[in-house]
């Protein structure tokens, strides 16, 4: 008596085809997968660095089905340090996934979508933005607000102009502290929410960034009168299995890996330690 | 299916048949006072004694080994794997251990989307014989968490035994169980034997109710834990003696949280290992960049109770992932009693709480 079963722990083979340096701490890794991977905007994958381990990342490339995948990675821990220091084109890696629910784009139809990103949070946001652009006419408006520490800490700067030119889309940037040559807004990303010109009742927010940014963005939005159920936050938790079994990524009874990673703030707001 | 009566000789016959049928593990009552989980041997069948209460060890290592290889890469070789269930029997487990396996089943086997093939492989070939408890440890509290010191039809056993005068009352749970019972001389049980079973069950249930009366709460533990949002003082009070050893999760028949690690297997091959992990250890939820949403012991302590009495029942139709076996109470180096922690959840003042560390629970009396 034997049968074939899918091994949920197995990474499919992939190869690094290119490494692009975005900023001093952020690189984009381009992969060729041995079989097509289909993911929705907001879903994430587990990237295996052979012998080092796995780490969860939301791809920064366009959602859909493809053997090409891009992941933009900040150097911040064991796996990401190894990626930055040693991984070069031609190296084998593994990909497991996709996992999570992704953004509920259906809910956003006919509404304004406010995209708030900070630092390397722009990386997963890019997949979200590409996802929105795929059906841009479905949405009333797409308003993008990005923040970074310095002008040199923005990734994908060469794409900003193209994004701003899309129909009913606008893009605003800010940096944390004044910087030589920067003439734009200065201040953390919440300053871009100060003079918000959107219909708050009719707007959904998607946001990604460090915990501290998510916290203050959320507080600001609530202050402005946003419905907590209109705020989707890309939560940061340790995710290991990816399918709601190993129980380390929960916020309340929700698994960030299975029910997220973009969680509706209204659903999680009553649980402890939402922002770490 | 009528109840059957099995003599003590018939039991030896049944064990021999099980031994020949496949790999046999049993909870052996012949150790002084404390039944132990062990691999059966042919010679030991003659002197095997049925346990009067649950074993010291949980049986979870038979379905989820402490460490197992789940993949080898690269090469896309293990993407789909052949599973070949091995015939294995566990004999003499208590209801709390069977409930533990049911807890794992919901997560690893019955998940509509992600089924763990390694779990299914072990679980499918598993033959389970349960035994009603004839006694209870002072730490046992199954009656407080939807458990009971005996098994009912539908709980998932193949055979259930109740020790009665000079033998056993057997309830057959599956056709496989019926098959194995053939040739053991099992005969139809008389009404007086069935009455004996009911008397034993009532006796042990009454004992549990008595010893746990001081921990009983008006609302169920699930309701209490699910309603808590801010960190209650009880978790800090009772968790203060935690030394982060992880014993409570390792001996728990319902704890299944795990970690995934990769190893260099040489020759350009890498293997992926799945190991037991413990949410009581600081590294469990630590992220890259040393961020940790559960940095303090009390936060991790609360997380364990939340998982057992809030998150798990929330996801799986109201079943807790605690079976009330009391092993965590027995094995805690800080003498933390789960029942005391839960009982004090709604108590505001530390003065009104049960003492921390909890008084050491009495050792079970020697003998079977």
Task: Read off the tokens for A26.
Answer: 């952020």
CA distance B80 to B78: 5
Residue B288: name the closest of A225, A234, A81 by CA: A81
Determine the pLDDT at residue B358.
84
Compute the average pLDDT of residues B290-302: 90
Compute the average pLDDT of residues B341-359: 90
Shortest CA gap B70–chain A (Å): 6
- What is the pLDDT confidence band of residue A94, given thresholds at 50, 70 and 90? very high
**Looking at domain A12-99, what is its CATH homologous superfamily?**
Translation factors (2.40.30.10)
Asked if A6 lies within 8 A of B76 by C-beta distance, the reply is: no
- What is the pLDDT confidence band of residue A93, given thresholds at 50, 70 and 90? very high
Asked if B117 lies within 8 A of A272 by C-beta distance, the reply is: no
Nearest CB to A272 within list B75, B229, B315: B229
Asked if B117 lies within 8 A of A252 by C-beta distance, the reply is: no
Nearest CB to A10 within list B78, B82, B230: B78
Is residue B23 scored above 90 in pLDDT?
yes
Determine the pLDDT at residue B364.
55
CA distance B340 to B50: 31
Nearest CB to B80 within list A7, A211, A238: A7
Nearest CB to B71 within list A4, A10, A240: A10
Q: Is the peptide bond before A98 cis (omega within 30 degrees of 0)?
A: yes
Output the CA–CA distances (angstroms, integers) from residue B310 to A49, B187, B251, B345, in the order listed: 35, 45, 20, 14
Determine the pLDDT at residue B55.
93
Is residue A153 scored above 80 in pLDDT?
yes
Is residue A1 scored above 60 in pLDDT?
no
Q: Mean of the per-residue pLDDT values for chain B?
A: 91
Compute the average pLDDT of residues B50-57: 92
CB A37 within 8 A of CB A65: yes
Compute the average pLDDT of residues A5-26: 93
Q: Does domain A105-268 have CATH number 3.40.50.80?
A: yes
Residue A121: name the closest of A103, A145, A96, A151 by CA: A145
Asked if A13 lies within 8 A of B76 by C-beta distance, the reply is: yes
Residues 6+ apart with CB under 8 A from B241: B334, B335, B336, B356, B357
- What is the pLDDT confidence band of residue B362, given thresholds at 50, 70 and 90? low
Whether ipTM > 0.95 holds is: no
Output the CA–CA distances (angstroms, integers) from residue B220 to B144, B225, B262, B319, in the order listed: 8, 9, 41, 12
Shortest CA gap A75–chain B (Å): 9
Dmax (CA) for chain A in angstroms is: 71
Delimiting residues of CATH 2.40.30.10 domain(s) in chain A: 12-99
Chain B residue numbers with beta carbons less than 8 Å from the beta carbon of A94 are 73-74
Chain A residue numbers with beta carbons less than 8 Å from the beta carbon of B308 are none
Reduced to 3 states (helix: H, G, I; strand: E, B; else coil), residue B366 is coil
Output the CA–CA distances (angstroms, integers) from residue A127 to A59, A131, A149, B140, B185, in the order listed: 7, 6, 22, 52, 68
- What is the pLDDT confidence band of residue B44, given thresholds at 50, 70 and 90? very high
Shortest CA gap B133–chain A (Å): 31
Asked if B114 lies within 8 A of A76 by C-beta distance, the reply is: no
Delimiting residues of CATH 3.40.50.80 domain(s) in chain A: 105-268
DSSP string, B262-321: EEEEETTEEEEEEEE--TTSGGGG--GGG--TT-SHHHHHHHHHHIIIIIHHHHTTT--S
Q: Which CATH number fits domain B4-67+79-214: 3.40.640, 2.60.34, 2.60.40, 3.30.70?
A: 3.40.640
Is residue A27 scored above 70 in pLDDT?
yes
Is residue A141 scored above 90 in pLDDT?
yes
- What is the pLDDT confidence band of residue B360, given thresholds at 50, 70 and 90? confident
Asked if B260 lies within 8 A of A7 by C-beta distance, the reply is: no
Chain A residue numbers with beta carbons less than 8 Å from the beta carbon of B73 are 10-11, 13, 48, 50, 94
CA distance B306 to B295: 16
Interface test with A, best of B232, B293, B311 (most A CBs within 10 A): B293
Asked if A237 lies within 8 A of B287 by C-beta distance, the reply is: yes
Compute the average pLDDT of residues B132-147: 93
Shortest CA gap B123–chain A (Å): 13
Q: How many residues are listed for chain B in this entry?
A: 368
Determine the pLDDT at residue B368.
42
The residue with greater pLDDT, B365 or A268, is A268
Is residue B249 scored above 90 in pLDDT?
yes
Nearest CB to B272 within list A9, A13, A35: A9
CB A22 within 8 A of CB A28: yes
Compute the average pLDDT of residues B283-305: 91
Output the CA–CA distances (angstroms, integers) from residue A53 to A79, B15, B261, in the order listed: 7, 45, 6
Compute the average pLDDT of residues A64-91: 94
Determine the pLDDT at residue B170.
95
Phi and psi (nearest 5°) for B74? -85, -175
Nearest CB to A5 within list B76, B117, B264: B117
Is residue A268 scored above 50 in pLDDT?
yes
For chain B, the structural domain boundaries read 4-67+79-214, 221-255+279-352
Compute the average pLDDT of residues A217-244: 94
The residue with greater pLDDT, B21 or A275, is B21
Nearest chain B residue (CA) to A270: B229
pLDDT per residue as tens digits for the range B175-219: 999 999 988 988 998 899 999 999 999 999 999 999 999 999 999
Determine the pLDDT at residue B365.
56
Is residue A249 scored above 80 in pLDDT?
yes
Determine the pLDDT at residue B361.
66
Reduced to 3 states (helix: H, G, I; strand: E, B; else coil), residue A152 is helix
Interface test with A, best of B70, B114, B257, B294 (most A CBs within 10 A): B114
Chain B residue numbers with beta carbons less than 8 Å from the beta carbon of A84 are none
């Amino acid at each position: 008596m034997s049968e074939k079963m899918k091994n949920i722990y197995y990474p499919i083979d992939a190869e690094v085809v290119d490494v692009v340096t975005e900023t001093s701490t952020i690189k984009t890794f381009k992969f060729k997968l041995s079989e097509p991977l289909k993911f929705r905007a907001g879903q994430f994958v587990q990237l295996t660095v052979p012998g080092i381990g796995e780490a969860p990342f939301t791809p920064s490339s366009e959602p859909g089905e493809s053997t090409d995948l891009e992941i933009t990675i900040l150097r911040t821990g064991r796996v990401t340090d190894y990626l930055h220091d040693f991984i070069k084109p031609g190296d084998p890696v593994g990909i497991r996934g996709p996992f999570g629910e992704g953004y509920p784009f259906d809910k956003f139809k006919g509404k304004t979508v406010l995209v708030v990103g900070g630092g390397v949070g722009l990386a997963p946001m890019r997949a979200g933005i590409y996802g929105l652009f795929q059906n841009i006419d479905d949405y009333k408006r797409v308003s993008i607000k990005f923040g970074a520490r310095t002008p040199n800490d923005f990734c994908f700067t060469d794409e900003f102009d193209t994004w701003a030119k899309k129909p009913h889309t606008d893009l605003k940037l800010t940096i944390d502290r004044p910087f030589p040559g920067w003439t734009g807004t200065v201040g953390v990303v919440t300053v871009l929410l100060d003079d918000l010109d959107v219909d708050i009742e009719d707007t959904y927010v998607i946001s990604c960034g460090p915990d501290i940014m998510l916290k203050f963005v959320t507080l600001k939005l609530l202050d402005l009168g946003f419905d907590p159920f209109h705020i989707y936050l890309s939560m940061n938790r340790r995710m290991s299995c990816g399918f709601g079994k190993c129980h380390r990524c929960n916020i309340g009874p929700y698994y960030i890996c299975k029910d997220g990673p973009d969680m509706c703030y209204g659903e999680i707001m009553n649980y402890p330690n939402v922002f770490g | 299916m009528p109840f059957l009566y099995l003599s003590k000789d018939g039991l030896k016959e049944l064990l021999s048949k099980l031994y020949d049928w496949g790999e046999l593990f049993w909870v052996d009552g012949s150790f002084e006072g404390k039944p132990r989980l062990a691999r059966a041997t042919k010679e030991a069948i003659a002197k095997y004694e049925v346990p009067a209460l649950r074993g010291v060890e949980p049986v979870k290592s038979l379905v989820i080994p402490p460490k197992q290889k789940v993949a080898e890469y690269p090469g896309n070789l293990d993407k789909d794997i052949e599973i070949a269930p091995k015939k294995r029997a566990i004999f003499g487990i208590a209801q709390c251990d069977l409930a533990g396996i049911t807890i794992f089943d919901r997560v690893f086997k019955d998940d509509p989307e992600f089924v763990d093939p390694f779990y299914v492989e072990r679980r499918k070939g598993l033959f389970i014989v349960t035994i009603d408890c004839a006694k209870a440890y002072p730490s046992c509290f199954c009656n407080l968490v939807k458990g009971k010191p005996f098994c009912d039809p539908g709980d998932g056993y193949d055979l259930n035994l109740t020790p009665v005068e000079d033998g056993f009352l057997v309830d057959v749970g599956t056709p496989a169980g019926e098959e194995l019972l053939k040739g053991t001389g099992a005969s139809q049980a008389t009404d007086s034997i069935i009455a004996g079973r009911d008397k034993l069950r009532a006796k042990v249930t009454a004992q549990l109710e008595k010893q746990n009366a001081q921990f009983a709460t008006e609302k169920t533990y699930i309701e209490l834990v699910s309603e808590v949002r801010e960190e209650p003082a009880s978790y800090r009070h009772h968790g203060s003696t935690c030394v982060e050893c992880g014993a409570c999760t390792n001996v728990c028949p319902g704890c299944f949280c795990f970690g995934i690690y990769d190893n260099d297997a040489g020759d350009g091959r890498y293997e992926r290992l799945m190991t037991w992990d413990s949410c009581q250890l600081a590294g469990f939820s630590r992220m890259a960049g040393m961020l940790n949403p559960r940095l303090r012991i009390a936060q991790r302590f609360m997380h364990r109770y939340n998982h057992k009495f809030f998150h798990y029942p929330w996801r799986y139709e109201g079943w807790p992932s605690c079976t009330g076996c009391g092993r965590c109470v027995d094995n805690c180096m800080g003498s933390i009693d789960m029942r005391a922690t839960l009982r004090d959840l709604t108590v505001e003042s530390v003065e009104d709480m049960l003492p921390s560390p909890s008084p050491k629970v009495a050792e079970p009396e020697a003998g079977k």
